[in-house]
Amino acid sequence: MPAKVNKEECTACGTCVEECPVEAIVIDEDAGCAVVDEDECVDCGACEEACPVGAIKTE
């Protein structure tokens, strides 16, 4: 299952974008949070581990 971002908790810091090995995450400036391209996500968990506020889940 692709990573899910909790938009309430996400601070749009960009750490997950830097850690994603397949470039499936971008920061949506209008929404003020990270957005995962579900078609590109390989469910590796790198973003979940990197998120400093725990806003991303891969389960």
Counting residues of the chain whose pLDDT is more than 70, the rounded percentage is 100
CATH assignment of the domain containing 17: 3.30.70.20
SS3 label, residue 32? coil
Asked whether the beta carbons of 21 and 41 are under 8 A apart, the reply is no
Q: Which domain holds residue 10?
A: 4-57
* Domains: count for the chain: 1
Decide: residue 32, CB within 10 A, 0-12 exposed, 13-18 middle, 19+ buried. Answer: exposed
Mean pLDDT of 7-35: 97
Mean pLDDT of 33-42: 97
Return the pLDDT at 59.
Answer: 80
In the predicted model, is pLDDT for residue 25 greater than 90? yes
What the block records as the tokens of 53 is: 């506020």
Contacts with 4 (C-beta within 8 Å, 6 or more apart), sequence order = 36, 56, 57, 58
